Chains A and B, each alone.
Chain A
């Protein structure tokens, strides 16, 4: 089974500053990688996904992530955050062997400070 590590449980950042949320996963076999966002009292919404091809993927709300196979990482970045980005962010992995099962990290709480 895969394991997903989000090293930072809480990330405070000032408005308009850049941010990086880190994600590492355990296996280097063919994987699909995802970032989800959860606003307070809501379900999870897909931000972006990597399936194949270009290692830099762009998502909604100005977020992007880079797949690094050698480091088994998929870090999420945004060059300038807004107050509305305050939310919980989850990294997830699925692979060809587990098929439909997703493995989630423990989440990173991003707080944007005005």
Chain B
């Protein structure tokens, strides 16, 4: 059974803290994605990666960075957390073109106080 796991389901951080969200997939997928989900806005793409050490900006990369040192792991980093980054963060992965399905992790609900 395919699986995408995220390091935390719930996380509470203080403004200004550096935050790491980890995502691991066991399907040997080349492509991995980070989204944030907010009510009324759906899923918005933050960053994605087509291969190890490669990254591409999505629609809302400001305030975020990513790291992909190994194929199975894709990390989202909030360099200095702010309250407007309180959100649900979803990681997804998919095999190479064509994309027949994105597989999602359970999500991390981050609260920044």
- Interface residue ranges, A against B (CB under 8 Å): 6, 9, 32, 34, 36, 41-46, 49, 51, 90, 92, 94, 96, 99-102, 104-107
Contact = CB atoms under 8 A, between A and B. Distances in A.
Interface residues of B, number: 27
Contacts of B50: 100
Interface stretch (B11-19, B36-44, B67-75): B36-44
A102 B42 contact: no
Interface of B: 4, 9, 31, 33, 35, 40-43, 45, 48, 50, 90, 92, 94, 96-102, 104-107, 109
Main secondary structure of the interface of A (DSSP, over half): loop
A2 to B, nearest CB: 12
A100 B31 contact: yes
Contacts of B109: 41
